[in-house]
A and B are shown apart, each in its own frame.
Chain A
Amino acid sequence: MNDKLYRGFLFIAALVVPVVCGGVVYALVTDAYEAFEYFGFFRFLTSSEWSYTDGAEQYGALPFITGTLMTTLLALVFCIPFSLPVALFVGEYFRDTQVAAVLGTVTDLLAGIPSIIYGLWGFYTLRPVIMALDISEQGSGILTASLVLAIMITPYASSLSAEFIKMVPNDLKEGAYSLGATHAEVVRKVVFPVAGSGIFSSYVLAIGRALGETMTVTMLIGNTNNIPESITSTGNSMASVIANQFGEASDLRLSSLIAIGLVLFLITALINMVGKIMIKRARIS
């Protein structure tokens, strides 16, 4: 094969990615247009009404945007107290040991479990616990979904954080030790400040994962179309309302769901981009 042909071949294969991405944006925008045109872009985003009574259809994305933000932030809060110790365990305390490898395998497997199985576990195991503890009556809701989401994003956050913790230069740590610092002080005063931006960016990427998680949230959030009043009430996230209603929707409702999809796509794209840029910067410095 001559060189030009070879390069052309690779180029065409590489072209697939921009074509798919362009197609994604194009299809979402054109199909969401009807909803945006009918309700107005900002009114669609800020309206909290979602009713499909014939003739008086009203669709607004606010309940689902709120639901997504609440589940994601809550999941992040629940995930940090576990993923940070895992990262320290693997990247600092038991670095390159057999136990760290075992813990690494555990988190890898956690990352591999399909989201529908997380959903089942949340529904049949965690939900009864929440009900028994009298936290909420129906068991499903923002809180239940966030708890399972937190487990799901822990592997992503911890493996990336561990990578940055491992990159902290040894001479810095040794310097601190030679001044008489304890291990805990080294972690707090040397490891965290140096690896901090990297650790932060790994949580940004974990947020990116949590935002779009679909099946788990759909099975656990309770699926009601109103703005959740508290963390124990039911709601819907952007992904879960699409999963729930897309199959039965048509016309304006379908377009509204696709519009929600477009908003979700833009938010995740933005978060992922910010995360990637931060990681790149953290790696260089």
Chain B
Amino acid sequence: MFKNRFIKRLRTNKTSLVGLALVVFFLFVALGAPWLAPVHNKNNPYQMPQKSYAITPQPPSAQNWFGTTEQQYDLYYGVVWGARLAFQVGVTVTFFAFLIGLLVGAVAAYFGGKVDELLMRLTDIVFAVPSLVLAMVIAAMLGPDLKNMMIALTAVAWPSYARLIRGDILSVKRRDYVTAARTLGAGGTRILLRHILPNSIYPAVVVASLDIGYIVLTAASLSFLGLGAQPGTADWGQLIAMSRNWVLGTAQHPLAYWYTVVVPGAAIFLFVLGWNLLGDAFRDILDPRQV
């Protein structure tokens, strides 16, 4: 039923189709990165090629389709491999955050009482600081590095899933079929695994997967602040950070270095837009009350 409603919604709403198209497009770019932009450094394909060490960015040309940014990093290579990195970061962080959230939420809901109280206060602590701020501080303490950035993002992302899953489980727990299973003599583990989890996880999985756009946005923000991947990594946030010095053009052309912001900016904008449009369609289905 759910699937049919989604397909119907996609067909009737053009904006969600656009969202789907954008996400699929980026998925193709990410998967096809080795063909779209041949690897030049076999040990680390995410390392952007550097034409020279000259500082001034160069406009788009036959050799560098999207131009080069500060220190002659090729923007085309950066954008293409950046898409791959975006998916990698988004999927990894969402997966682990969801896993932790599922574990904590299930334990809290199932045991209730003191365990529940303790775990929920733990989520309160993470919610007490804006997620970007907390991720920033954790990433800084761990040291700027791609892996540490992902740890920081996971650390701030799991509590919302934990709460969501806990709430869902608590509501499913009271349903008639669970009581029926219990009266039939099913054990605690069996009820949790066979009846409660499958029925409460489903909406949460959808919500989580749609968060990929948001996670990538936060990751880009961290990279922008210099708390993400190592310099020279094909990372959208970092590419935009490198354009910060080129806001002022030359005297004749005030907008001479527009491409340093617009190229990576467009990539991340379209990526996040795609996920948001797609998310809209899902949210309408999950919560029909919203207009």
Do A and B make up one complex? no
State the B residues within 8 Å of A (CB). Answer: none
Q: Which residues of A contact B (CB under 8 A)?
A: none
